[in-house]
Amino acid sequence: MNGGLRLTVLGAGYLGITHAACMASLGFEVLAVDTDGGRVDELNAGRLPIYEPGLQDLLRAGLGAGRVRFTTSYAEAAAFGDVHFICTGTPQQVGSDHADLSQVQACVGALGPLLARPCLVVGKSTVPVGTARRLAAELAGAGAGVELAWNPEFLREGSAVADTLSPDRIVAGVTSGRAEEILRQVYARPVAGGARFIVTTLETAELAKAAANAFLATKISFINAMAEICEMAGGDVRELAQVLGADPRIGPAFLRAGLGFGGGCLPKDIRAFVARADELGAGDALAFLREVDAINLRRRARTADLALELAGGNLAGMPVCVLGAAFKPGSDDVRDSPALDVAQILTGMGAKVTVYDPAALGNARRARPGLGYADTLAGAAAGAHVVLLLTEWPEFAALAPGSLSGTVARPNIIDARNVLDPATWRDAGWTYRALGMAVDPATARQPH
Ligand SMILES: NC(=O)c1ccc[n+]([C@@H]2O[C@H](COP(=O)([O-])OP(=O)(O)OC[C@H]3O[C@@H](n4cnc5c(N)ncnc54)[C@H](O)[C@@H]3O)[C@@H](O)[C@H]2O)c1
């Protein structure tokens, strides 16, 4: 079914490792390249440098079957692959909103001159519209039969394996029938399983990813804007979201108010989209995304202010427990983590913050060495005057007040993800606060 195609994956991060292991599980022979030799050694030994449910087993199965391996050699990759997937990072540029394309550029720059036989180079990284057309021109000089396609990736950390093996849609941005045919061979199994295969131009493929992220970010910030109104007016954003979500034209997904989005994708992708639109002279069309970003960041400041309120207006020297470091549950990714940002703000207010997370402590310690950490939930909560639930890991959502009551110094909890039952905590004697919920309408903050 896979036509004997041999695949390479260039860049072995969250996306690349997942893609490599999943393609191997579909029966392809896969060679993955990363410039980080230590990472390559770990991966060849079956050790996953990231936390992603189900991926460790898939990787080991692929290694065991001899269908996937890792290298630092582009020469090996160029000789091996019929299809080369670009999976390198595109972080935000330091000091600007633009995407930093240096990893993608280095990848194409290394691969192109080594290509000595017909092949398809397929971009999966998230890039500003126009990048693919430029790279295609660059690769056109690489030799006969070398072609570029763009196939943006929509996987979500925490469900990356399922999203790769059973995606909703596969976008094939192509400039020829041959490129489309090769991508149809690569994705034959997911398509047979129900994934829609949508053929587009290179530009539409790039825009598809940017637009999808912009829409999701807007939906999250919309409900968080409603949360701000609820806090002022005495509404309850959970009830409001139920009402909105019951309308099939709106739908309930991505309408949970809370601390907002973070991670290595949404924030930098919407900023890069706005920056690219400005370059294209279409900045006005995406001006609303700046407000989406601002609403999102305001939730972090508001959460820290709630902690200050619960601490009686002074956090100096006060022990505070932060539950969560990953930007979302099911991941150890702390890139632009709302939880760590709030922990940092609280530390700046003088609090003695102790962070606990079931998977992301290692990354958090490296990214924010100035914060306090505990290896257990109980250790983080010991003596705390305020507990903040900032990442909705299932074990936090399942917390019972009794499990913490004897541990904390004061029973104050901020549910910044709206996953706890307010009545349960209040009945147990806790002061419970959440984003998007005034204490009660009578005490809602009044406009001045
Ligand atoms: N992480 C996600 O959930 C996700 C989802 C969809 C799309 N994306 C997009 O996929 C791309 C990769 O994201 P990620 O989260 O996997 O990034 P990452 O930072 O985890 O991984 C990038 C990897 O590329 C390696 N690398 C850097 N330069 C290289 C080069 N020249 N050649 C080979 N390897 C090189 C790095 O060592 C690193 O291991 C980004 O464009 C991102 O926006 C990510």
Order of strands across the sheet that contains 319-323: 372-373, 352-356, 319-323, 386-389, 412-415, 431-434
Among 294, 214, 302, which Cα is nearest to 258's? 302
Distance in Å, CA 15 to ligand 1 centroid: 6
Residue 332 has pLDDT above 90, yes or no: yes
| Rounded average pLDDT over 211-225 | 98
Distance in Å, CA 399 to ligand 1 centroid: 34
pLDDT-above-90 percentage for the chain: 96
CA 165 to CA 192: how far, in whole Å? 11
Q: Which ligand 1 atom sits closest to the C-alpha of 269?
A: 43
> Is residue 342 within 8 Å of residue 390, measured between CB atoms?
yes
| Gyration radius of the chain over CA positions | 24
- Is residue 87 lining ligand 1, measured as CB closer than 6 Å? yes
Which pLDDT score, from 0 to 100, does residue 284 have?
Answer: 98
| Rounded average pLDDT over 79-94 | 98
- Is residue 347 lining ligand 1, measured as CB closer than 6 Å? no
> Average per-residue pLDDT in the chain?
96
Tokens found for residue 434: 């959440």
| Rounded average pLDDT over 32-45 | 98
Distance in Å, CA 407 to ligand 1 centroid: 41
CA 187 to CA 367: how far, in whole Å? 36
In this predicted model, what pLDDT tens digit does every residue of 387-438 receive, in sequence order? 999 999 999 999 999 999 999 999 999 999 999 999 999 999 999 999 999 7
Q: Which ligand 1 atom sits closest to the C-alpha of 157?
A: 3
Bridge partners of 434, per DSSP, are 415, 437
Residue 447 has pLDDT above 50, yes or no: no
Length of the chain: 448
- Is residue 36 lining ligand 1, measured as CB closer than 6 Å? yes
Tell me whether residue 265 is one of the annotated catalytic residues: yes
Active-site pick, 22, 107, 230, 265: 265
In this predicted model, what pLDDT tens digit does every residue of 116-127 receive, in sequence order? 999 999 999 999
Which pLDDT score, from 0 to 100, does residue 448 have?
Answer: 38
Best of 51, 70, 103 to mutate for ligand 1, by most ligand atoms within 8 A of CB?
103
- Is residue 293 lining ligand 1, measured as CB closer than 6 Å? no
Which pLDDT score, from 0 to 100, does residue 133 have?
Answer: 98
Best of 34, 88, 98, 157 to mutate for ligand 1, by most ligand atoms within 8 A of CB?
88
CA 224 to CA 99: how far, in whole Å? 26
Tokens found for residue 371: 């914060």
Which pLDDT score, from 0 to 100, does residue 438 have?
Answer: 79
CA nearest ligand 1 atom 32, residue = 107
- Is residue 358 lining ligand 1, measured as CB closer than 6 Å? no
Which pLDDT score, from 0 to 100, does residue 2 have?
Answer: 67
211's CB contacts (< 8 A; 6+ apart) are: 273
CA angle 393, 396, 402 (to 5 degrees): 170
Which pLDDT score, from 0 to 100, does residue 142 have?
Answer: 83
Query: For the whole model, what pTM was predicted?
Result: 0.95
Q: One-letter amino acid identity for 54?
A: G
200: phi then psi, degrees, rounded to nearest 5: -140, 180
> Binning pLDDT at 50, 70 and 90, where does residue 105 land?
very high
Residue 361 has pLDDT above 50, yes or no: yes
Tokens found for residue 205: 């493929």
- Is residue 206 lining ligand 1, measured as CB closer than 6 Å? no
Q: One-letter amino acid identity for 444?
A: A
Among 26, 24, 31, which Cα is nearest to 60's? 24
| 3-state percent helix, strand, coil for the chain, nearest multiple of 5 | 45, 15, 40
In this predicted model, what pLDDT tens digit does every residue of 342-357 receive, in sequence order? 999 999 999 999 999 9
| Rounded average pLDDT over 161-169 | 98
> Is residue 74 within 8 Å of residue 105, measured between CB atoms?
no
Distance in Å, CA 404 to ligand 1 centroid: 39
CA 77 to CA 30: how far, in whole Å? 10
Best of 9, 10, 14 to mutate for ligand 1, by most ligand atoms within 8 A of CB?
14
- Is residue 52 lining ligand 1, measured as CB closer than 6 Å? no
